[in-house]
Structure 1
Amino acid sequence: MKTPRSLRTYRAKRDFQKTSEPAPEAKAPRRRGAPPLFVVHKHDATRLHYDLRLEIDGALASWALPKGPSFDPKTKRLAVETEDHPLAYAGFEGRIPEGEYGGGDSLLWDRGTYETVPPGEAPEQRKKGHLTVQLHGEKLKGRWHLIRTKSRGKKAQWLCFKAMDGEADADYDVTADRPESVKSGRSATRGPVRKGALKSRPLPAEQLLERVWPPMLAQLSVPTEADDATHLYEVKYDGFRALAALSSGALTLHSRNGHDLSGRFPQLAEALRQLRVTEAVLDGEIIALDPQGRSRFQLLQKGSDAEQRFVAFDLLWLDGEDLRPRPLEARRELLEQLLSGVKPPLQLSERLDLPGDEALAKARSQGWEGLIAKRRGAPYVGSRSRDWLKLKVQAAQETVILGYLPIQNARAREEIGALLVGVHGPDGYHDVGKVGTGFSSETRRELRALLDRQRVRAPVAVDAKPRPGAVWVKPKYVAQVHFTEWTHDGRLRHPVFQGLRTDKKPQEVVREQVSEPRKAAQKSKAAPKSGARRAPRAFSARATRSQVQEEPAEAEGRARLTHGDRVLYPQERLTKQDVFAYYREAAPLLLPVLANRPLAVQQWPAGIQAPGFFRHELSGMPAWLPTLRVKHEAKTLAHVNVQSLEALLWLANQSALTLHIWSSHAPKLAQPDWVVFDLDPGKGPWEDVITVAQALREKLEALGLESLPKTSGKRGLHVLIPLAPGHTYAQTQRFAEKIAAELETELGSLATTERTIQKRRGRLYLDVGQNGRGKTVVAPYSLRAIPGAPFSAPLAWSEVTRKLDPLRFTLKTLSKRLDAVGDLFARALHGTQTLP
């Protein structure tokens, strides 16, 4: 097929040496006799809009819809006719570079086939100015009209609207409910970064890297600690950890120890410099591939001609914004957008959309080192964290070279025979055995020359055993080895040399061991290194108060603590500084819950003994604070959008003790994430609450539904049913009302659905009104304004007994609670259940 003449304008507007969009002559796979294509692109260029494209006369006729399509026949949307696009554009998704025509992200939002009504009249109807099309898309279905109205300069204006058919639905907002790409599943987009868009001048690359230092580290673990409902799995690559900071074309590429890697890997450095971005910091791994395409550390050694790559797995900074407080999924989505269309030697880390056991089986079959299990919703913290778990299928260990044994032949003066290696411990270096395989003759000679310059008379290991002929050296070099297992006396069994590591210091090399979650939590009480963000595993009011005093601006940036000595809980003498510190520690638990979710807050600026205020929209919000504009029945309000630590701490500084959240989050505000039952105790005994809660659980389990209890923070209980996406508030409200009515029938002497307090006659109130749109429930880990400073604590059902005391979960006991059970609410954020 010849290239249509209508594509001349398309070609003239684009430089195909810079943009990854298909050239006009690019071939598009087609089937003979197949119905014509239609696609819709979600395009974040000058502004976010939707591009409707219909296959007509060998090209894609295109219209830009500023507000996107609507299923309401009464809503007529402007559609501006643009240049025709090649058929190959039907499969395009990616980022159009800044400075190029249409620069910004373009997602393939919908695709399918269509026919005109009557069929086969697309060219004639387009020329006439009235297209009536029947769409068969993944999102857009049914009959639609496109009617030309007038010209706007050289661009013709049309109206696009839904026909009155069985697919019309005035209440369905398809762009809000289905924001995702049908190709990649991504939903967020990023427009072009223009001059002046950054809040300040771009930082030098070196300073940019310092802003996000140090890197996050994973904890060696076992597969049973990762859960498919709470973790995502990525390939663990066998290479050098590297962070790349880009600023206006300049690059700083450092190892985790701060060593410059750009000189050693010039090809990778040059590829990174070519990324079209103003400011960015990427976290990744430098790897070398064997003939089977697997990363092998030993191939990174000097002299290897193996193919090298920079594999990016996280994005810490982008165009003036620190992304570390954002949830894992949000950072990954931005990283995917940034790297869309890149080619080797740059690549995105591989994520496995598989259950954990299948992912590990694949890792074994592919010969990978293992997997990294990353907790959903987790922020990026500058320390070792259990939010990232190393699950190894090949045992690997870093070791310190403590000496060597000469080779036992004529080359004894030129080559080593085996390395004597150790690891660092609290009392010094410890001998873990010798490594005699994995060397080439050249490597043996190079190591001999290197080590002979570091000779010492006596071994530095505190437990070194006599070895005839051993040559001992200073602990200066680190070797990577693979091995089968540790022996009972702490030695490496069958170790194989992989290469030298220049990115690790000898004193950092310790024996990697699987630690229990509680032990890891206790270790986190140690003060973090400068710049590190601590995980919420060991809250200590005293320790964090001093930390807040020492680094109010460096750690929190624009969210500053003021009047920190103001007492908010008089009985316990807890101050605003204590509340500030609590929410700082609880942030990694709260941010995944609060981000993009409308919330209302209760403020007590004069302490809980004075009147408080309940507000949806707060006064005095600074310009930097993200907000969600939400349409309520009477008016549109701007809710604080707690996407970051700074936003949460700003609320804490406003004495916002209690946070109330919607059951849904943007962009799917019409789809609740759970059903909620609020068991509000009356004047009856605590046993009544337990009886009703257990009865509710049994009733739900009979329907095949799992539920999650939490304390309200006072005397009540909340029971949530985590749901898969796609439910409506009407569905959850009807379901909750039905279950509550059944419980009232069965337990009418204990519980009631009666709203009027007088008519309840002291019985427990089965409140399901919080399932309506715009209704709120107290957020997990949110403080309550009553003596003791209790918080709303997620529970295990085994804890819901007569011995349960909801008021024992307080500001002072958070660390103890997390050490014991971890974050029990995480699974509520990724529900997979469907209501019957």
Structure 2
Amino acid sequence: MKTSETEKRLERYRTKRDFLRTPEPAPGAVTRAAGEPVFVVHKHDATRLHYDLRLEIGGVLVSWAIPKGPSHDPAQKRLAVQTEDHPRSYADFEGHIPDEEYGGGDSLLWESGTFETVPPGQADAQLARGHLEVVLRGQKLQGRWHLIRTRPRGGKTQWLFFKAKDEEARPGYDVTVERPESVKSGRKQTRGPRKPGVLRKKPVAPSRMKAHPAPSKEQKAPATPEKLLERVWPPMLARLAVPDEAHDETHAYEVKYDGFRAVFALTRDKIAFQSRRGNDLSSRFGRITASLRTLPVSDVVVDGEVIALDKKGRSNFQLLQHTEEGAEQRFVVFDVLWLNGEDLRGLPYEERRARLEKLMASVELPLQASERLELPLSRALLEARRKGWEGIIAKRKDSPYTGTRSGDWLKLKVVAGQEVVILGYLPIKNAQAKSEIGALRVGVRGKDGFHDVGKVGTGYTTSDRRELRWLLDATRTKKPSAVDAAANTETVWVKPKYVAQVRFTEWTRDGRLRHPVFQGLRSDKQPRDVVRERPAPTESTRTAKGVRRAPAQASARTTTHRAPTKASDRTSAKRPERDTEALLTHGDRVLFPDSGLTKADVFGYYRDVAPLLVPVLADRPLAHQQWPAGIEAPGFFRHELSGIPSWLPTLRVRHEGKSLRHVNVKDADALLWLANQSALTLHMWLSHAPRLAQPDFVVFDLDPGTGGWKDLVKVARRLHARLDALGLQSFPKTSGKRGLHVLVPLAPGHTYARALAFANARVAELEEALGDIATTERSVGKRGGRLYLDVGQNARGKTVVAPYSLRAVEGAPFSAPLDWSEVTARLDPHRFRLKTLRKRLEAVGDLFAPVLRVKQTLPGE
């Protein structure tokens, strides 16, 4: 279709809208986008809620309004009224159209994907004929669908939209109910336009209405600060959660501090500073209390955390136990409940936060407002790991302050922590320290009493061990407090009177703490309140094809929550409150036949390794090797993948003679989307955007010959010694198959030509010194069984297998970063497999992280 004709088709769209008022995109230059045509469905809350289907045909989005939305039941033929054509740029639109404008109300991007007609390439002809048969490749709508024109009605053409009878048909399944969320933002709820002259209030749950009277400036502060605290008591608590339950559109993120919860009230120049249990803190934290007295208000209640900072500026609960050590203490304020006669608890979080920031603008240390993270969730979690925080708090932007443990505040931890009750101790075995404990026996409360969760043997100072022995000996008892106490134990049992804070790596299958470390005693907690913290249960996400939401991005050191593969597991699986964009489909498909590893196993592996891999791959063009039918079937090597959803970040990169769209793994969801495409092996460029012409590494690829691993180690160590002599750090990793990669990190400013020249010079030296076992000869037939010294990847557009990437070899080995001390004849590269990732990381951590930090310049030749 000619451009002028396309623009003419958009004239109706243009005349209906004032683009100075609506956020909808104005028609621009008409260009045919590369790749398959797109389709989208908008969930549009205008005069009434309906769904707008749009198919890219002839350079525009041909649009239909479907009042009841799509149905997967072929017997349900839904009315679809054709509306004005929309510009191609509308395919990514989501937002609120002003109430007084045409189509006013929320419009969510409910679905997006690509489509093709049956047979292909017939969209214009079928549209003119009045019968479109299309194959949709979306996240919620898949398979064949029909659009059949029936008759005009009131100037608008009436069609029927219904599902074809194919394997994707699902009678009885209501996709609009089961999948209400936006594929772009995750939002579920919409707001339609307010009627003229009527101010529509946002509905509030009855429980919230009772708990929080609307703010009123006529309220009078109670006579004493204690009475004021009683009026707003108790403090709001956060619920332990997984990242899937929060979303950038609906939540704000703050640092989670590792300290002592406290609430402060000021009225009529009198103060009250109390813990969660109502204990007075003013004498214990005198300097902080004195600073709080100077707040520039007549009466106020603020909620926050008393913290102590370590040498790196991180909050550390253990330091609060030892005030004599002089650790810097602060009071971090994260909410304001009452201000100058006004009860603020009923206001949304965002408004309370604005009041708080204004209140704290003029204060000085040791007072400060909690740090808010203006980052996407995935990056906020990575920042928490990088800086060694306990985690982050996700707070719903529209939530009031409730005196309960609420899902409106979510604890997203990157370091596991748990309150435990001290049930006993093991005497120290050192005969010279009989007045000290050796380890604590700790537990948590269950339905039938306290349960033993293990021993805590580390994290103590000598004074800690002595003080705990003195405290616990006064409460000794012959009868164990644990209902499941082990017999024949050396434990000295005590009454469950004291609560401790511990950090640990994970819960074991039998409910024990793995590697717990003592942090200190908690005087603000009572033993009866100490239970095992768990993320709240969530709903099932199973669909007919076993579709599941992506599990939470989690540290590879935390407990794995693998997507179930058995039918019984799938039916009992739970869904978080917010669906993430990445989906697992056909999770029970076996990809590694001999070992029985499935697509769900691969999905779970990449979920666990995402915190380590995303920083490596972000903004770096990728190529992928896919095995959708398993590694015994033919695989595919691709730079550009089809069916990329609109929410997925991409990089448009110019290759020789063409421009390709690469998936940009900027977050865990992008990595999991690739995993669901059976992209087992990820190949990365050596450079990243926006400096694609400047490599970040020089790479040496050592491909063994008939001499095997023994020759490879000899060559690798010779290369390492030479690079050391040149003053360059280098980092080895297995290729995931037989070989070894050696990476030399570079500072910005190097060219590929310089990197390749440097690499060629080094392998020429190796060939001269070890020519009997190593060669630069590219032809396999001419190598004579020698190891191949390959540096061909040091060119723009060439790739190397990414660290931690799986390979299509039985057992699912991955490309494992190594320490040079491991590169010996005893090393077996095949021991680094999907199932051994956790053990590897527990032993050595992330050995690839230093590669991203080192910046060095190649020496002149």
TM-score grouping bracket, smaller chain normalisation: 0.3 to 0.5
User: TM-score w.r.t. structure 1 length?
Assistant: 0.46
User: TM-score w.r.t. structure 2 length?
Assistant: 0.44
